[in-house]
Amino acid sequence: MAKRDKISMSVIRRLPRYYRFLSEIQSDGVMRISSKELAEKMRLTASQVRQDFNCFGGFGQQGYGYSVEQLRSEIESILGLHEQKRAILLGAGNLGRAVASHMAFEPKGISLIGIFDRNEELIGTTLRNVKIDSTDELEQFCAKYRPNLAVLCVPKDAARQLCKRLYAFDVRYYWNFSHYDLAADYSDVVVENVHMSDSLMTLCYRISDDIEARSKSE
Amino acid sequence: MAKRDKISMSVIRRLPRYYRFLSEIQSDGVMRISSKELAEKMRLTASQVRQDFNCFGGFGQQGYGYSVEQLRSEIESILGLHEQKRAILLGAGNLGRAVASHMAFEPKGISLIGIFDRNEELIGTTLRNVKIDSTDELEQFCAKYRPNLAVLCVPKDAARQLCKRLYAFDVRYYWNFSHYDLAADYSDVVVENVHMSDSLMTLCYRISDDIEARSKSE
């Protein structure tokens, strides 16, 4: 297994799905799986699966199927889940709470080391065993603990202002739930956006398409 | 503007971004925009923007730029945001609360008509002015109010069980935050998945890639 230089984002975006699926069948006790079975379960073609894996130099021997544990562990390594990251969460409202309480950070190499909010009622309380601090403390915290990853669960304008402050402290990695378009302002950050409203609008499109198709077939 | 038959999902997935961006500049008072400007702001090429719009028969005259209001309203119509949908939310924990309180449902034609949870402490309380009912009431509610869209904010196994019950009442549209793979069990549902952990793993990959690139350039 070897990382190649230019792997398309569409291949990369399928890796977490492989990883999730392999983790699941492994915990169900499955030891080996063929590319055909894997493809069927994931609704891809076997050739697609083989092509995806070839981007990383291929895994295992196709004839005998893949070792689930080996495949899972190699994808884990490609995904860089072993890389240790120090994360802070900005915004401890409903969305921040949902993210903090639902996400399995540790298996992805992420330590959540700080949570910040400007709501006086939240400051001093804890979330996932982490004390919520005032955003006024952000600079002091960053200087001391050097986080490198920030999870943005604040509104757009707050996100813009906070990123400016975080960028000054070399925070370059962002998991962004806000509508603030970070990449437009900073060319050297790595940002992964979760735009829930875009997903909902895509669903609306597909519903409307489905309604149209049904009405035509009637 | 005319809907064509086979539009690729990658074009469709860009429409919400156009829509969000156009709504924003419209509320800033911008009346017209050229494909070049639009492309720059969205970090696409002008030819990409024109190609995207051509999938729907093109909008306005390119030479004079697009009318922001017309473009926004046509994309709104393509996205089917006018289509009225009756939605229920399953799961009123942190994630369900975040979704219910953050999402602008109404502008997308979605009425949130019911919320269900099995947690006794939540049942009877309200969220976004909707009373939280026991999941035991699901069938009775579906028979009476006929929801057609379900938002799944429950764990995987609960999602599997609830979908079986919802499917029996003709609920075919799903916004799925759980890891339950609905499409594997039902071929005729429209499901849009929000897999936050996949997004986080993609970010991990990109961070690991960035760390590697930086170490090489040193």
C-beta atoms of B210 and A199 within 8 A? no
Q: Which two tokens stand for residue A59?
A: 């895994």
How far is the C-alpha of A6 from the C-alpha of A153, rounded, in Å?
Answer: 31
Q: What rounded mean pLDDT belongs to chain B?
A: 91
Q: Facing residues of A191 across strands?
A: A174
Residues A96 and A187 in one domain: yes
How far is the C-alpha of A179 from the C-alpha of B71, rounded, in Å?
Answer: 20
Beta strands in chain A (DSSP E): 32-33, 66-67, 85-90, 110-117, 126-127, 130-134, 149-152, 173-176, 190-193
Residues B93 and B188 in one domain: yes
**pLDDT tens track for B112-128:** 999 999 999 999 999 99
SS3 call for B179 = coil
Query: Whole domain around residue A65: which residue ranges?
Result: 9-78
Residues A46 and A104 in one domain: no
pLDDT at B53 over 70: yes
Domain-embedded: residue B176: yes
pLDDT tier at B1, thresholds 50, 70, 90: very low
Residues B90 and B69 in one domain: no
Residues on chain A touching B209 (C-beta within 8 angstroms)? 3, 80
pLDDT tier at B96, thresholds 50, 70, 90: very high
Say if residues A105 and A112 touch (Cβ distance below 8 Å): yes
pLDDT tier at B42, thresholds 50, 70, 90: confident
Domain-embedded: residue A113: yes
Picking from A134, A176, A128, the residue whose alpha carbon sits closest to that of residue B199 is A176
Say if residues A7 and A80 touch (Cβ distance below 8 Å): no
Nearest residue, CB atoms, A205 vs list B78, B104, B179: B78
> In this structure, what CATH number is given to the domain that contains residue A43?
1.10.10.10
Q: Kindly report which listed range (B27-36, B62-71, B133-142, B162-171) carries the lowest average pLDDT score.
A: B62-71
Instruction: Name the percent of chain B lying above pLDDT 70.
Output: 94
Suggest the residue from A43, A160, A203, A209 to mutate for an interface test with chain B (most B CBs closer than 10 A): A203
Suggest the residue from A208, A214, A217 to mutate for an interface test with chain B (most B CBs closer than 10 A): A208
Half-sphere exposure of B38 (CA within 13 A, CB side): 31
Picking from A122, A177, A123, the residue whose alpha carbon sits closest to that of residue A153 is A177
> In this structure, what CATH number is given to the domain that contains residue A152?
3.40.50.720
pLDDT at B86 over 50: yes
pLDDT of residue A5: 59
The total number of structural domains that make up chain A: 2
Domain-embedded: residue A162: yes
Intervals of chain A under pLDDT 70: 1-6, 58-63
SS3 call for B125 = coil
Single out the residue in A30, A61, A78 at which a domain terminates.
A78
Beta strands in B1-137 (DSSP E): 32-33, 66-67, 85-90, 110-117, 126-127, 130-134
C-beta atoms of B198 and A80 within 8 A? no
Suggest the residue from B52, B83, B201 to mutate for an interface test with chain A (most A CBs closer than 10 A): B201
pLDDT at B3 over 80: no
Q: What is the ipTM of this complex?
A: 0.92
Residues on chain A touching B149 (C-beta within 8 angstroms)? 203, 207
Residues A131 and A173 in one domain: yes
Residues A72 and A97 in one domain: no
Domain-embedded: residue B4: no
Domain-embedded: residue B209: no
Residues B117 and B172 in one domain: yes
Residues B127 and B168 in one domain: yes
Distances (CA, A) of B39 to A170, B61, B65, B132, B172: 29, 16, 12, 44, 36
Residues on chain B touching A81 (C-beta within 8 angstroms)? 201, 204
- The DSSP element (H or E) to which B185 belongs, if any, is helix B182-185
**pLDDT tens track for B136-195:** 999 999 999 999 999 999 999 999 999 999 999 999 999 999 999 999 999 999 999 999
Distances (CA, A) of B56 to A72, B15, B74: 42, 11, 10
Domain-embedded: residue A203: no
How far off is chain B from A7, nearest CA to CA, in Å?
11
Domain-embedded: residue B35: yes
Residues A59 and A95 in one domain: no
Picking from B146, B135, B152, the residue whose alpha carbon sits closest to that of residue B171 is B146
What's the whole-number mean pLDDT along residues B65-82? 91
Residues B67 and B93 in one domain: no
Residues B97 and B24 in one domain: no
Residues A90 and A164 in one domain: yes
Domain-embedded: residue A216: no
Does the model's pTM come out above 0.80?
Answer: yes
C-beta atoms of A102 and B196 within 8 A? yes
